[in-house]
C-alpha cells in the first residue's frame, strides 16, 4: 500500500481545499461542493423520514394501536411518504452522485449552469424548510398523495404549506434535470460520443428527461389544490361538478414517472458497479443505454394503473394495464444484461458489489410484484393493501437505496480522498439486506391476507407478521446507522485513497482523489469506450482497510 | 444562436399575419359551425403559435436539437390531454360501470 | 463565424462563446418545455370540464368581453414584435434601439396587465368571482362557477408570468444601455425573448378557449 504517496495526494490542491469557511461552501459554483451540500441535506431528510418509519413500525407492533392516536398515525405515514419521496429519493442519486460525477464522466469542467445548480440546492432547502415548518405545526394527514376532496376540503392539517414545500422542491428537481440535459448534450469532451458514455450518464440523462417533462404537472396540480383551499376556486370540488379522479390523473401523470426518477439513477449506478467489480464491459451496452430512454418514455404512459379502482373507465384501465406490462420489459433487459456481465467476469465481493448484487435480487422481486399488480384483476384485490407497500419498498429501498449505498461506497474514496473500513462496511451491507427482507417480505404476506394500508389498527391475526416486520426494521435501522458512523469517521481519520483504489475504468478514476476544482489537470481527450477492460485483468489498486 | 443576416422584414410579415389570424378567429367564432368551431379555433391558434415559434423564436434557423425539444414539449402535453380524455370519453361505454349522472 | 478568444461574457467552464450561446439557448428551451407542461395541467383540466359541461361553459364564456380579449391579444402580438426587434437591434449593434424596444415591450405588457385588472374588476362587479361573491343567473350555476375558476386560474397564472416577464425585461435595460449586448453576444436578450414569446403563445390559446367559445350563440 503506497500510503505515503496516497497521503500526499490529500495535501495537494483539490476541490475541498479551494477555500474554507462558510462562504466558500454556501456561495460555491463547484458542482462537487454542491453535491456535498446536497449529500448533507438529503441525509438529514433521510434521518427524519426514518424516524417516522420507526414510529410507524413501533406503533404497528400491537393490533390495537397503543403508541399513537389514529389522527397522529395518519400524519406519521403522510410525513414519512412526503419526506422520503420528495426530499430523499427524488434528489438522492441525481443531486449527489449525479452532480458530482456527470461532469467528470463526460470530461467537462462543470455542469452547463453552475449557478443554477447552486440555486437548485437553495430551492431544495427552502422546500424542506416549508415542509418542516408544516411538520412542526402538526403536519398533514392526507397521505403523500394529497387525494381530493380530503386534501382540498376536509383535512384540517397543514395541507397548503406542505404542498407548497413539495411545489418548491419540485423546482429544484426541474433545474437539476435541465442542467443535466444541457450538459450531456453540449459539454462532452472531445471524443466522448454518446455511445462511449458511461451508462450512469445515460441513466442520469433519461432521469432528467422525466424530471423536466413530469415535475411541472405535479407543481401546477399542487398549486390547484392550494388555490382550492385558500381561494376557494373549486377545481376538484364535487359540489361544482369537479372530479376528484381528475386530481389523481394529474397527480399520477408525474408521480408514476417519478418512481422512474427514483430508480433509473440507481440502475445507472448498478451498471457502473457491475462493470467495475466483474472487470468486464457491460453486456449489451446499447440495450442498457436505450432501455433507460425506453423506461423514461414508457413510464409516462402507465399512470392509470394507480386509478384502477377509482371509477376510471374500464377501457382506459385495460390500456394502462397492458402498457404497464410493457414498461417492465426494458427493466428486465437491464437485469438480464447485468447478469450476463457477471457471467465469466472476474468477480470480487467488495462492499459496492454486495450492494449491487443485493439490488439485482431485490429489484427483481419488486419488479415482478409490480407486474402482478399491473394486472387489472389482481390489483382490484391488492390495491391499498400492504402488498402495494411491500412492492414499492422493494423497488425503492431494496432497489434505489441499495444502489445509492453502493454508489456512495464505490465513489466515496474519489469524493473524499479517504477509505472506509472494509469489514464493517460489508457487515452493514449484510445487515441492511437481512433487515430489509425481514421488514418487507412479511408485508407481501400481510397484503395478500388483506391488511389495508394506512390503517392505524389491524385484526389480531396479522400481528405475527407485523412483529416480524418491525424486528426487521430495527435491524435495517442499525444497518443504516453504521455507514453514517464510519463515513463520518472516514472523513477525518480514514486512510488516504489513491486515484483509483478499485482499479476501475472511467474518466473519474483518471483524476486525483479528491479531484481538483476543475476536475482535470489537463482536459481529457477520449479515445475508447466505457468499461474498456482487457480480457484478463488482475485486480490492481488499493484495497479498503481490513478491519476497523 | 442563428447565424442568418439580421433581416427585420419577416418579423413585420409575421406580425401582420398574426393580427389577421386574430381577426379571423374572432370572425369565425361568430359563425355557427357546430363541432367545427372548436376545430377552426384550434387550427388558427396552432398556426399562430407556429408562426411565433418559427420566426419570433428563431426556431426556423435553430438546430435540430432545438426543433426536437419544441416538438417533444407540445407532444407531451398532447399525450397528457388525450390519455386523460380517453378515460372520460369511455366511462359511459359499459353501462354497468358508469356512475349515474 | 469565429467567436472572440476571451469575450468578457465568456464563463470559464465553457470552451468558447459559441458553446455558451448554444448551451444557454438550449437551456432556455428546456425550461420552456417545463412551462408547457406547467400550463398544460390547467389546459388538461379545462379540456376535461369543457367536455363535461359544454353547454354551460359556452354560456358562461359569453360573460367575458371579446373586445378586451381581442385588444389584449393584439397588444401581446405587438409586444412580441417589439421584443423580436429588440434582439434585432442587438444583432445590428444599436444599443439605444435595444432599450427603446425593450421599453416598448414592457409598456405593452403593462397595458395587457392593466386591461386584465379592468376585466377582473368587472367580474367582481358582476359577482362572477368564485369563492368570493359568485352568483350566476342560469342553469347549473356550479358548472359556471367551474368555468370561472378555470378562467381565473389560467389567466391569473398567465398574468403572473407576464409580471415576471416585464420584470425580467426591466432588469435588462441597464446592461443594454451600457452596451453589454452586441452582435457577438446578446444571449440574455435572446433567452428573455424566448420567454416573452412563450407567454404570448399561451395567450394565443387562452383567448379562443376562454373568450370565443360562446360567440356563435345569438
Ranges of residues in chain A with a pLDDT under 50 are 1-2, 537-548
A496, A413 Cβ separation under 8 angstroms: no
Binary contact (C70, B26; C-beta < 8 A) = yes
Shortest distance between the Cα of B19 and any Cα of chain C, in A, equals 6
Question: How far is Cα A407 from Cα A405, in angstroms, rounded to an integer?
Answer: 5
What's residue C7's pLDDT? Answer: 79
Binary contact (B87, A300; C-beta < 8 A) = no
φ/ψ (deg, to 5) at A149: -80, 5
SS3 A501: coil
A517, A30 Cβ separation under 8 angstroms: yes
Binary contact (C26, A239; C-beta < 8 A) = no
Binary contact (B84, A312; C-beta < 8 A) = no
What is the DSSP secondary-structure string of A247-315? Answer: HHHHHHHHHHHHHHHHHHHHHHHHHHHHHHHHTSPPTTHHHHHHHHHHHHHHGGG-GGGGSTTTT--HH
Interface test with A, best of C18, C34, C139 (most A CBs within 10 A): C34
Question: How far is Cα C168 from Cα C160, in angstroms, rounded to an integer?
Answer: 12
Cα–Cα separations (whole angstroms), residue A93 to A204, A212, A328, A399, A488: 9, 16, 22, 12, 19
What is the DSSP secondary-structure string of A6-47? Answer: HHHHHHS--TTTS--SHHHHHT---HHHHHHHHHHHHHHHHH
pLDDT tens digits, one per residue of A469-528: 999 999 999 999 999 999 999 999 999 999 999 999 999 999 998 999 989 888 899 988
Which residues fall within 8 angstroms of residue A400, CB to CB, at 6 or more apart?
A89, A92, A93, A262, A263, A265, A266
What's residue B101's pLDDT? Answer: 54
Cα–Cα separations (whole angstroms), residue A493 to A36, A167, A499, A544, B11: 18, 40, 18, 14, 65
Choose the closest CB to C200 out of B32, B52, B81. B52
Which residues fall within 8 angstroms of residue A80, CB to CB, at 6 or more apart?
A49, A52, A53, A56, A144
Binary contact (C48, A239; C-beta < 8 A) = no
Chain C residues within an 8 Å CB radius of B68: none
Question: How far is Cα A146 from Cα C158, in angstroms, rounded to an integer?
Answer: 25
Per-residue pLDDT of chain C (218 residues; tens, 9 = 90+): 444 456 788 888 898 898 999 999 999 999 999 999 999 999 999 999 999 999 999 999 999 999 999 999 999 999 999 999 999 999 999 999 999 999 999 999 999 999 999 999 999 999 999 988 899 988 899 999 999 999 999 999 999 999 999 999 999 999 999 999 999 999 999 999 999 999 999 999 999 999 999 888 86
Question: How far is Cα C101 from Cα C45, in angstroms, rounded to an integer?
Answer: 37
Cα–Cα separations (whole angstroms), residue A506 to A104, A512, A527, B76, C37: 9, 13, 12, 35, 36
Q: Nearest residue of C to residue A237 by CA position?
A: C146
Chain B residues within an 8 Å CB radius of A314: 90, 93-94, 97
| Number of Cβ atoms within 10 Å of the Cβ of A298 | 20
Shortest distance between the Cα of C128 and any Cα of chain A, in A, equals 12
Cα–Cα separations (whole angstroms), residue A469 to A124, A167, A358, A492: 32, 33, 19, 36
Chain B residues within an 8 Å CB radius of C190: 1, 58
Closest alpha carbon to A103 in A217, A15, A230, A216? A15
Closest alpha carbon to B66 in A341, A93, A176, C24? C24
Binary contact (B52, C47; C-beta < 8 A) = no
C109, C199 Cβ separation under 8 angstroms: no
What is the DSSP secondary-structure string of C162-218? Answer: HHHHHHHHHHHHHHHHTT---SS--HHHHHHHHHHHHHHHHHHHHIIIIISTTTT--
Interfacial residues of C (vs A; Cβ cutoff 8 Å)? 12-13, 19, 22-23, 26-27, 30-31, 33-42, 44-45, 48-49, 52-53, 130-132, 140, 142-143, 145-146, 149-150, 152-153, 157
Question: How far is Cα C203 from Cα C122, in angstroms, rounded to an integer?
Answer: 20
| 3-state helix/strand/coil string of A56-117 | HHHHCCCCCCCCCCHHHHHHHHHHHHHHHHHHHHHHHHHHHHHHHHHHHHHCCCCCCCHHHH
Question: How far is Cα C61 from Cα C123, in angstroms, rounded to an integer?
Answer: 12
Interface check B61 vs C, CB under 8 A:
no
What pTM, to 2 d.p., does this model score? 0.94
Q: Return the number of CB contacts < 8 Å for A and B.
A: 44
Binary contact (A110, C13; C-beta < 8 A) = yes
Cα–Cα separations (whole angstroms), residue A235 to A96, A241, A246, C99, C131: 37, 9, 9, 42, 11
What's residue A541's pLDDT? Answer: 43
Write out residues 42-61 of C within 8 Å (CB-CB) of B.
Answer: 43-44, 47-48, 51-52
The length of chain A in residues reads 548
What's residue B100's pLDDT? Answer: 60
Binary contact (C205, B18; C-beta < 8 A) = no
Shortest distance between the Cα of C183 and any Cα of chain B, in A, equals 10
A236, A243 Cβ separation under 8 angstroms: yes
Interface check B73 vs C, CB under 8 A:
yes
SS3 A545: strand
Structure confidence at residue B95 as a pLDDT band (50, 70, 90): low
Cα–Cα separations (whole angstroms), residue A546 to A1, A406, A408, A514, A543: 12, 18, 18, 22, 8
ipTM of the complex: 0.94
Contacting partners of chain B (3+ CB pairs under 8 A): A, C
Binary contact (A312, B91; C-beta < 8 A) = yes
What's residue A75's pLDDT? Answer: 95
What is the DSSP secondary-structure string of B57-99? Answer: T-GGGS-HHHHHHHHHHHHHHHHHHHHHHHHHHHTTSSGGGSP
Shortest distance between the Cα of C141 and any Cα of chain A, in A, equals 8
Contacting partners of chain C (3+ CB pairs under 8 A): A, B
What's residue B19's pLDDT? Answer: 97
Amino acid at each position: 500500500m503506497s500510503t505515503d504517496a496516497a497521503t500526499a495526494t490529500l495535501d495537494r490542491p483539490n476541490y475541498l481545499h479551494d477555500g474554507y469557511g462558510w462562504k466558500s461552501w454556501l456561495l460555491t459554483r463547484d458542482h462537487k461542493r454542491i453535491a456535498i451540500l446536497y449529500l448533507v441535506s438529503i441525509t438529514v431528510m433521510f434521518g427524519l423520514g426514518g424516524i417516522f418509519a420507526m414510529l410507524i413500525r413501533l406503533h404497528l407492533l400491537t393490533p390495537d394501536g397503543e403508541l399513537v392516536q389514529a389522527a397522529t398515525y395518519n400524519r406519521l405515514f403522510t410525513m414519512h411518504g412526503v419526506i422520503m419521496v420528495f426530499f430523499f429519493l427524488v434528489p438522492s442519486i441525481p443531486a449527489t452522485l449525479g452532480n458530482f460525477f456527470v461532469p467528470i464522466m463526460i470530461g467537462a469542467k462543470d455542469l452547463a449552469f453552475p449557478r443554477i445548480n447552486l440555486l437548485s440546492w437553495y430551492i431544495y432547502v427552502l422546500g424542506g424548510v416549508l415542509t418542516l415548518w408544516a411538520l412542526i405545526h402538526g403536519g398533514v394527514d392526507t397521505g403523500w398523495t394529497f387525494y381530493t376532496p380530503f386534501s382540498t376540503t376536509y383535512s384540517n392539517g397543514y395541507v397548503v404549506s406542505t404542498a407548497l414545500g413539495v411545489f418548491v422542491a419540485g423546482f429544484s428537481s426541474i433545474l437539476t434535470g435541465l442542467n443535466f440535459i444541457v450538459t450531456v448534450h453540449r459539454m462532452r469532451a472531445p471524443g466522448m460520443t454518446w455511445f462511449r458514455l458511461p451508462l450512469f450518464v445515460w441513466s442520469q440523462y433519461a432521469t432528467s428527461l422525466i424530471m423536466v417533462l413530469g415535475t411541472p404537472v405535479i407543481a401546477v396540480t399542487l398549486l390547484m389544490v392550494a388555490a382550492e383551499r385558500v381561494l376557494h376556486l373549486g377545481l376538484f370540488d364535487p359540489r361544482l361538478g369537479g372530479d376528484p379522479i381528475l386530481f389523481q390523473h394529474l397527480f399520477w401523470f408525474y408521480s408514476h414517472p417519478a418512481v422512474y426518477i427514483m430508480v433509473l439513477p440507481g440502475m445507472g449506478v448498478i451498471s457502473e458497479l457491475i462493470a467495475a467489480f466483474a472487470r468486464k464491459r457491460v453486456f449489451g451496452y446499447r440495450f442498457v443505454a436505450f432501455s433507460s430512454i425506453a423506461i423514461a418514455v414508457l413510464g409516462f404512459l402507465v399512470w392509470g394503473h394507480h386509478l384502477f379502482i377509482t371509477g376510471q373507465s374500464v377501457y382506459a384501465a385495460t390500456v394502462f394495464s397492458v402498457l404497464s406490462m410493457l414498461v417492465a420489459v426494458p427493466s428486465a433487459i437491464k437485469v438480464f444484461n447485468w447478469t450476463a456481465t457477471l457471467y465469466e467476469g472476474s468477480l470480487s465481493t467488495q462492499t459496492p458489489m454486495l450492494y449491487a448484487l443485493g439490488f439485482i435480487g431485490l429489484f427483481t422481486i419488486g419488479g415482478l410484484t409490480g407486474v402482478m399488480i399491473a394486472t387489472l384483476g389482481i390489483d382490484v384485490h391488492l390495491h391499498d393493501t400492504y402488498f402495494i407497500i411491500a412492492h414499492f419498498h422493494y423497488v425503492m429501498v431494496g432497489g434505489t437505496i441499495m444502489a445509492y449505498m453502493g454508489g456512495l461506497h464505490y465513489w466515496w474514496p474519489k469524493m473524499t480522498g479517504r477509505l472506509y473500513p472494509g469489514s464493517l462496511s460489508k457487515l452493514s451491507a449484510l445487515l441492511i439486506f437481512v433487515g430489509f427482507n425481514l421488514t418487507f417480505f412479511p408485508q407481501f404476506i400481510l397484503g395478500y391476507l388483506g391488511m389495508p394500508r394506512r390503517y392505524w389498527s389491524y385484526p389480531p391475526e396479522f400481528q405475527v407478521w407485523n412483529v416480524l416486520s418491525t424486528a426487521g426494521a430495527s435491524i435495517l435501522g442499525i444497518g443504516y446507522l453504521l455507514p453514517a458512523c464510519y463515513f463520518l469517521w472516514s472523513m477525518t481519520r480514514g486512510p488516504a485513497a489513491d486515484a483509483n483504489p478499485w482499479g476501475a475504468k472511467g474518466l473519474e478514476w483518471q483524476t486525483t482523489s479528491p479531484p481538483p476544482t476543475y476536475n482535470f489537470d489537463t482536459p481529457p481527450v477520449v479515445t475508447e469506450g466505457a468499461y474498456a477492460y482487457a480480457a484478463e485483468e488482475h485486480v490492481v489498486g488499493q484495497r479498503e482497510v481490513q478491519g476497523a | 444562436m442563428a447565424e442568418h443576416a439580421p433581416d427585420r422584414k419577416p418579423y413585420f410579415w409575421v406580425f401582420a399575419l398574426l393580427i389577421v389570424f386574430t381577426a379571423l378567429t374572432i370572425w369565425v367564432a361568430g359563425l355557427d359551425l357546430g363541432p367545427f368551431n372548436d376545430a377552426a379555433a384550434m387550427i388558427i391558434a396552432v398556426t399562430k403559435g407556429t408562426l411565433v415559434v418559427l420566426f419570433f423564436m428563431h426556431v426556423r434557423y435553430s438546430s435540430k436539437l432545438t426543433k426536437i425539444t419544441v416538438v417533444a414539449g407540445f407532444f407531451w402535453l398532447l399525450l397528457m390531454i388525450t390519455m386523460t380524455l380517453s378515460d372520460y370519453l369511455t366511462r359511459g361505454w359499459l353501462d354497468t360501470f358508469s356512475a349515474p349522472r | 463565424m469565429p467567436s472572440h478568444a476571451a469575450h468578457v461574457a465568456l464563463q470559464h467552464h465553457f470552451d468558447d462563446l459559441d458553446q455558451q450561446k448554444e448551451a444557454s439557448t438550449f437551456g432556455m428551451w428546456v425550461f420552456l418545455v417545463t412551462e408547457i407542461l406547467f400550463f398544460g395541467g390547467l389546459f388538461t383540466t379545462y379540456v376535461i370540464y369543457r367536455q363535461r359541461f359544454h353547454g354551460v361553459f359556452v354560456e358562461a364564456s359569453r360573460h367575458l368581453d371579446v373586445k378586451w380579449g381581442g385588444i389584449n391579444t393584439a397588444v401581446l402580438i405587438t409586444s412580441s414584435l417589439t421584443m423580436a426587434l429588440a434582439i434585432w437591434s442587438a444583432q445590428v449593434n444599436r444599443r439605444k434601439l435595444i432599450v427603446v424596444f425593450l421599453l416598448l415591450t414592457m409598456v405593452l405588457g403593462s397595458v395587457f396587465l392593466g386591461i386584465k385588472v379592468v376585466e377582473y374588476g368587472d367580474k367582481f362587479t358582476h359577482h362572477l368571482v368564485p369563492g368570493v361573491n359568485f352568483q350566476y343567473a342560469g342553469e347549473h350555476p356550479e358548472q359556471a362557477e367551474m368555468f370561472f375558476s378555470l378562467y381565473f386560474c389560467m389567466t391569473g397564472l398567465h398574468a403572473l408570468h407576464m409580471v415576471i416577464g416585464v420584470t425580467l425585461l426591466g432588469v435588462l435595460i441597464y446592461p443594454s444601455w451600457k452596451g453589454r449586448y452586441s452582435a457577438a453576444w446578446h444571449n440574455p436578450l435572446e433567452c428573455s425573448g424566448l420567454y416573452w414569446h412563450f407567454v404570448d403563445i399561451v395567450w394565443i390559446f387562452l383567448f379562443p378557449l376562454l373568450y370565443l367559445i360562446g360567440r356563435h350563440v345569438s
